[in-house]
Structure 1
């Protein structure tokens, strides 16, 4: 066994230990077991002496990681279920895969090579395991990469996948995701997930946000605009008359502007904020490209429902993934915003910028000017997947969202809206 811990404190940062104690269900479980705050907390051991996480602890870890890195993108109960079928929630289990010649480790059974690929190619760089692969045995680190891999499976091979596919592929491999041999895996997963729901209700699964006075920098990023956005961009937002009116009315103060949050505490932008971000990005960086803020805002509505982190497999406000943003920056010259990791795309301004840049590239896909319908459908479904049956509904969703941002007096009906849609200028919307 390459590594082992005796205490939770040996494999968690002090801040993460504070969050574990802050969870009321974990706190009760630990206190009932004789643990005390300020003292090291023992890891649970089975009769053979092997360390494991209780279901309560597992859900707390999943909740912290989802809340911090995958808010509105993945279900913490799914992570808890995957950990159960992957390792039985055991911390130090290693499994050698003869076909891939990889050793999967930890509670989510993540291979170091996969974790490194996720960081290098997909921008998951919150934890650096390049120099210290043993970090993968830390519960939060292992769950972080396991959740990232599960998210990737949801859209692997440019297809939208079901929960069943992801679960079966996670445990049995993509090639066996539809094979009868992996069917029992999904059935067990459903049983475990139901069990987790019975001991921990959804509304308290992720209630780990502390009082505002005790926020860490990481937690503040989930609440405050100022933690994600540059000072110059915040200044531009305050100067926007509609934003100024909205923020002042809601009691916001410079330096401490809160995101709106839904009932699940997922941060999102108001429509006023979305349109303002679009207007600022266009005026600063893409004014010669023919973009219209109403169109960008409508795409944000469809892609992410205006959630800061995005929805499901779509990353950030505009649903632009890290590989696409990195390519636009590296190969197409769009470098007004830096994209080093996937977390950079949770900045609404960066996401809007790369979303608008991607539209610019799509407008001349395959070297010719494309129609408005093609550009929108290609943005939402991929340029190689545009067809009336599969992506046509996306165009209709876009038109419906567009009505939320257009002047209703100017466009009295959807038909007129479609005829008057001129959010791209064919002459000016081109790459440098």
Structure 2
């Protein structure tokens, strides 16, 4: 499913200093424009902590924002990198790279906190580090479910660094799969500059080359520093209730669903072997600290959802599990542009909930889809809807291809990479003795 977007005509032009523009706000300290939890995260970043202490700042006291020779507020490269890494970890883990955000901030605003520009052609103001238009931010909240910051009617909140970077990142993620197609980094960056229509136009080519140059010049953070920073962010997100809370299953999944999973014999065996306890079941994490499900967990979640809600629809748990493998590589957040375990985006889930009547789980924001069972439920709902697409029975090859690339893009004359990936993934979940020679979704 897709939503019409004011971002379709988003054109990022040169920025200007605020100079008494209507939406400008007055900040002096970091504490004026971030929450206490965000300040904790910044202080716990080793590089930020060193930079601030070297500048004479003290923990527990207000921290001055930097000013350039013209008196304009800006983030240092160290601060910018920390903000980007925290936002990505809390809200876009496994979906975006923080260096993409940092490189864009260098170009579009020079990291100026109050950079502001009015585009006479589109009659839109673009503000803050990532030069976000308030209309676009409100669209991301309203239609795409990005609701960690409520900014509707309060445009000045977009001058706050974490808020601005959050919506800049959300827009980048939307661009990476706009019109239902996986997009290249070059397309995304050029579309961020000139809008989707200019993503392949010569007018945005130089912008992408500048972006690549700046991205390569940014000093990479040492691996152990990234690990420490993400560990701290994860700890605070769990204890404070902010962000994701990606350490434990129990922070995402209801107690009722957790009890069902504990009763699954294979899950019980796996969790007992790894020393898990009721109320504190840990997600597995890869080397980059990204949470993911084991194949045993994926198959169990699929079986639970189907037995509860789709037992009469004939959907096979192995098919759902294989789709999760292809869509998200089993990452809880999803991967790249795909949201959640089943790669179901918020507009599609909201449409299934409101219009199709799939209401076993509520979906009020994109964060709801980071619950593996919610994502699996809406994935199964979409699969069932596709099986009767345009009022007629569909083949399993059509259903799988439609799920992965959209029903309007299915070509049954060609096998295609999506179908091949699905068949390969299916081998991980099907019992070769029981399912030999078969490949069935419904």
TM-score, normalised via structure 2 length: 0.91
Alignment of 1:14-413 (within 5 A): 14-196=36-218, 198-201=219-222, 204-205=225-226, 207-210=229-232, 215-218=239-242, 221-387=245-411, 392-411=416-435
| Cα distance, 1:153–1:203 mapped onto 2, change above 3 Å | farther
RMSD: 1.6
Task: Indicate the SS of the match to 1:409.
Answer: helix
**C-alpha deviations, 1:386-431, integer Å up to 9, x for none?**
125887211111011000001133345xxx1xxx22330xxxxxxx
Alpha-carbon distance in 1 for matches of 2:32, 2:302: 45
Task: Indicate the SS of the match to 1:123.
Answer: coil
| Cα distance, 1:24–1:377 mapped onto 2, change above 3 Å | same
Alpha-carbon distance in 2 for matches of 1:251, 1:263: 20
Contact 2:91 2:244 in 1 (8 A): no
Contact 1:91 1:107 in 2 (8 A): yes
Cα deviation for residue 133 of structure 1 reads 1.6
Cα deviation for residue 217 of structure 1 reads 2.0
Task: Indicate the SS of the match to 2:118.
Answer: strand
Task: Indicate the SS of the match to 2:280.
Answer: coil
- Size of the aligned set, in residue pairs, is 417
User: Looking at both structures, which has the greater relative contact order when contacts are Cα pairs under 8 Å and sequence separation is at least 6?
Assistant: 2
Contact 2:126 2:134 in 1 (8 A): yes
Name the stretch that deviates more: 256-265 or 184-193. Answer: 184-193
Contact 1:381 1:391 in 2 (8 A): no
Which residues of structure 2 form unaligned runs of 5+? 1-19
**C-alpha deviations, 1:109-148, integer Å up to 9, x for none?**
0011000000100001110001422110100000000000
TM-score, normalised via structure 1 length: 0.93
Contact 2:248 2:280 in 1 (8 A): yes
Alpha-carbon distance in 1 for matches of 2:425, 2:142: 35
Task: Indicate the SS of the match to 2:83.
Answer: helix
Cα deviation for residue 212 of structure 1 reads 5.1
| Cα distance, 1:82–1:212 mapped onto 2, change above 3 Å | closer
Alpha-carbon distance in 2 for matches of 1:318, 1:24: 35
Equivalence for 1:421: 439
Contact 2:322 2:429 in 1 (8 A): yes
| Cα distance, 1:103–1:220 mapped onto 2, change above 3 Å | closer
Cα deviation for residue 165 of structure 1 reads 1.2
Name the stretch that deviates more: 218-227 or 305-314. Answer: 218-227
Alpha-carbon distance in 1 for matches of 2:441, 2:192: 41
Name the stretch that deviates more: 201-210 or 313-322. Answer: 201-210
Cα deviation for residue 205 of structure 1 reads 3.9
Structure 1 stretches of at least 4 aligned residues deviating more than 4 Å after TM superposition:
211-214, 388-391
| Cα distance, 1:342–1:152 mapped onto 2, change above 3 Å | same
Cα deviation for residue 202 of structure 1 reads 5.6
Contact 1:19 1:208 in 2 (8 A): no
Alpha-carbon distance in 1 for matches of 2:40, 2:312: 50
Task: Indicate the SS of the match to 1:96.
Answer: strand
